[in-house]
Chain A
Amino acid sequence: MQREKRSAILLLALAFILSVILAACSSGNNNAAGTASAQPSESSAPSASSQPSDSNAVDTSEEVKLKMILLGGKPVDYDLVFGELNKLLKEKINATVEVEFLDWADWNQKYPLKFAANEQFDLVYTANWAYYNDQSLKGGFLELTEDMLQKYAPKTWAAMPAVSWDQAKVNGKLYMVPNNNVEVTNKVVLYREDLRQKYNLPEINSLESYANYLKTVAQNEKGITAYGAKAADGWKWHELDQATLEHNNDFKVIDTRVPLAIKLDDATGKVFNIYDTPEFKELLAYYKDLADNGVWSKNVVNNKNDVWQDMKAGKVSSYAQNLGTVAANLAEARRDTPDQQFAIADIAPNSKKLAAISTQNGMAIHATSANPERALMLIDLLQNDKEIHDLTMYGIAGSHYNPEGDDKYTAGPNAVNYPAGISNWGWNSELNRQDASYPQEANDIFDGWQSKIYHYPLETYVFDDSNVKSEVANIGNVIIRYGIPLEYGLIKDTDKGVADLIEQLKAAGIDKVQQEMQSQIDAFLANQ
């Protein structure tokens, strides 16, 4: 017995040793592969820059395949459109591109994993709301130098205003080619104009008139939820807050993961806790009133439905989003559901309007891309080559869209098959066409805003959380647990709810984060 047991152990040990050896071999291979893939990118950069410096033409004699990551569902006609694109690219830069799509449902989980696992890809969509800062600081993107841009993206270099490049810098270094497009980030509400007229309600242009509309709908329209919120996806700072709390009081939350804000016109950039303001308490009373009147579902925090789809189906009567999105909704509704009339309202009309900084959308190059030059050339073409820009933004002319002049288009017969909400916004530029059916009122609102666009000194400041990561993580948790239910009026005693929220935030380390942010802001302002 004893003997048998011993040999069994020996066998096990042997198996173990064997597998360790195997593992060592495979990890050895991994290392080799790792260095092999790292080498060309290191060596190619200098050779590429030294070679073309003799002759100005870029050497594209070797055909390369590029991989690009975009957000959104794969369009039905992807093969058609990108097949066409690859023909053009082959001709122009001797390259082809293949796109991997990260679906909207779980992109924010998959996106960082692509970097952490160091997957092979060359280009990736990024934005200030899509990990731009985070990945730049972590070293996920290739730094783009002025030389590289001038050499490989000359058209973009010429077309982009200098301020857009500056806005995209993280700690003085550039990691993305931002889009070239003026956008305002203020939130508006989309509502049912037919319902407003049915009940003879006054025009919606303030918090009060909006509340009036919502409460009337909640009371009289059984089966329609007056306000649609998608709380279940864990966003801590929702769109209505932006309109009601930020825009109305001219506050600006610096980083949506922590409830710290500044006053827009405060030149000293003093940071304060937005939950610890009288304005927030007023807002809570406003929300509580809405909640008690049944404006939103009691189970709003568990609602996972797509709010816009619910609105189209006639189940929800209003929601808040940015102007571009609701304008697109409006155009879509006019095409698909003519029996419901929607309209757009600005419920904080006197607020200062904030322009999106250039990092609202952009394209970056993966730090370990084997072909950064060709990737950069591709970005140049996507953004500033009329033919390629049209193709990738709107699909195939005559099928997905019909060009109207140089700067407008109408939906073609196959419009639904492309682009269907993918993040080709990354190469928005002056070549963008406008949907001829784009609602005139959205244009009017936008034109009205242009004169109110307000630039403030901290516009391009981004919070670097590396010293307070634990605190930021815990604060996020506190907001979900104590803040969100409070805002949706689910906690009976609001005053106690606020006290609890603030106490928990303090325990989670908000003071330390505030100090850190303040010192960063002070340094940022001192440098200007």
Chain B
Amino acid sequence: MKRYGFWHDALKYRTLLLMLLPGVLFFMLFAYIPMAGVVLAFKQYTYDGGIFGSPWNGLDNFRFFFDSGSAWQVTRNTALYNIAFIIVNNVLEIAMAIFLFEIAGRWFRRVFQTLLFLPYFISWVVVGAIAYNLFSFDYGTINAVLKGLGMEPVDIYNTAAYWPVLLVVVSAWKAVGYGSIMYLAAITGIDTEMYEAAEIDGANIWQRITRITIPNLYPTIIILVLLAIGNIFRGDFGMFYNMVGNNGLLFASTDVIDTFVFRSLISSNDIGMSSAAGFYQSVLGFITILLANYAVRSYDKDRALF
């Protein structure tokens, strides 16, 4: 192979580089440059000092979170909820994508896909309000129906046990439509010759799905799951806050790091303390994604992210 200079390569790949540029700039501006702000986690923020001039205060900002007695509980809740979301949502998304791909009738497919996609656009605030009108003890639709059928009403907002299931269902309802589109795109990209060959060899639909579609989806699945794992310690604030609100009775099973920090610091507005919590989440997320990537790597080197 002939050795070319750097500028030669730059010229040669100029179109590709140009395509890369917006992405690089985006992450520079919104991810790398603001990263300097993590110093706030170790500072006593003052207005005159600003981000860099404020005095250091060591690990003081972390004290609030770890002394609260809830650190373990909310961290565990955050991780478990996210694991549940990743598994349930991905399984449903893949199933839905395969279903949409295999199904005949363009018209039906379009309508179904649109309906599935719709919840993605509803804001969590609205979802929270809908949920309240469904689940409320006195006036909720569900309890009205139960009472109409002569059954005992259920007190959903005061029973923590219902919530893990409820939240997983709501999350799936909202996310599956969007996620299935990515998988559908990946399936459409699979070489049709494989299916034709399989059909000639007499494979039935189930065999086509398990032997061709799913194995071909592995790279997409791995990338999407790995990316999701990086955020496993970030609770979806919009979801948890609007669904649960300030209902203390449910916190044991619904409180995640983000809502906990929000509630604690909303009245004191200490920027250092909230940065500390954010920093904690990032470090945990970083470690998990390294571990997950390492696991994928040792299984199959080519499929790892890095």
Contacts and interface: CB of A to CB of B under 8 A. Distances in A.
B102 interface: no
B136 A302 contact: yes
Interface in B30-46: 32-33, 45-46
A472 B264 CA distance: 8
Interface stretch (A92-100, A108-116, A443-451): A108-116
A232 B157 CA distance: 12
A261 interface: no
Contact of B273 (A231, A473, A481, A491): A473
Listed residue (B6, B29, B246, B273) with the most chain A CB atoms within 10 angstroms of its CB? B246
A138 B270 CA distance: 10
A134 B270 CA distance: 10
Nearest to A16: B28
B204 interface: no
A299 B137 contact: yes
Interface stretch (B60-68, B176-184, B283-291): B60-68
B216 interface: no
B68 A474 contact: yes
Nearest to A112: B269
A233 interface: yes
Given A7-B10, A302-B245, A297 B268 contact: no
Contacts of B17: 11
B268 A469 contact: yes
A509 B67 contact: yes
A469 B64 contact: yes
A297 B1 contact: no
Contacts of A480: 246, 248, 263
Interface stretch (A324-332, A355-363, A406-414, A482-490): A482-490
Listed residue (B1, B24, B29, B47) with the most chain A CB atoms within 10 angstroms of its CB? B47
B157 A7 contact: no
B157 A3 contact: no
Interface string B252-272: 000000001001111111110
Interface string A8-29: 1011100110010001000000
A476 B269 contact: no
A275 to B, nearest CB: 14
Nearest to B135: A299
Contacts, number: 142
A469 B271 CA distance: 12
A476 B64 CA distance: 12
Given A477-B70, A484-B248, A234 B3 contact: no
Listed residue (A225, A301, A491) with the most chain B CB atoms within 10 angstroms of its CB? A301
Given A10-B6, A299-B157, A490-B158, A139 B47 contact: yes
Contacts of B28: 15-16, 19, 23
A473 B1 CA distance: 64
Nearest to B20: A15
Contacts of A115: 47
A13 B69 CA distance: 44
Interface in A406-445: none
Contacts of A304: 129, 132, 245
A257 B267 contact: yes
A509 to B, nearest CB: 7
Interface in B84-123: none
B146 interface: no
B249 A490 contact: yes
Contacts of B246: 231-234, 301, 480, 484
- Interface of A (DSSP majority class): helix
A262 interface: no
Given A297-B138, A302-B132, A477-B264, A7 B269 contact: no
A508 B71 CA distance: 12
A108 B47 contact: no
A140 B46 CA distance: 9
A298 B155 contact: yes
A232 B248 CA distance: 10
Interface string A121-151: 0000000000000100011100000000000
Given A116-B269, A297-B138, A490-B249, A11 B158 contact: no
Contacts of B129: 304
Contact of A470 (B3, B64, B271): B64
A469 B270 contact: yes
A367 interface: yes
A39 interface: no
Contacts of A481: 248, 251
Contact of A23 (B6, B33, B263, B268): B33
B48 interface: yes
A464 interface: no
Contacts of A469: 64, 268, 270, 273
A509 B3 CA distance: 67
B206 to A, nearest CB: 41
Contacts of A1: 1
Contact of B138 (A23, A112, A298, A504): A298
A336 interface: no
Contacts of B46: 138-139
Contacts of A482: 248
Listed residue (A139, A304, A482) with the most chain B CB atoms within 10 angstroms of its CB? A304
Given A116-B271, A232-B245, A473 B64 contact: yes
A301 B270 contact: no
A497 B247 CA distance: 15
Contacts of B48: 139
Nearest to A3: B3
Ranked nearest first, the 5 interchain pairs of A and B with the lowest CB-CB distance are A470-B64, A481-B248, A112-B269, A473-B264, A298-B137
16 contacts: A3-B3, A15-B24, A16-B28, A19-B33, A297-B136, A297-B137, A298-B155, A298-B158, A301-B246, A470-B63, A472-B268, A473-B264, A477-B68, A480-B248, A485-B249, A508-B69
Given A301-B249, A480-B248, 15 more contacts: A7-B4, A7-B6, A7-B9, A7-B10, A232-B245, A297-B136, A304-B129, A367-B47, A470-B67, A471-B67, A472-B268, A473-B64, A474-B69, A491-B249, A509-B67
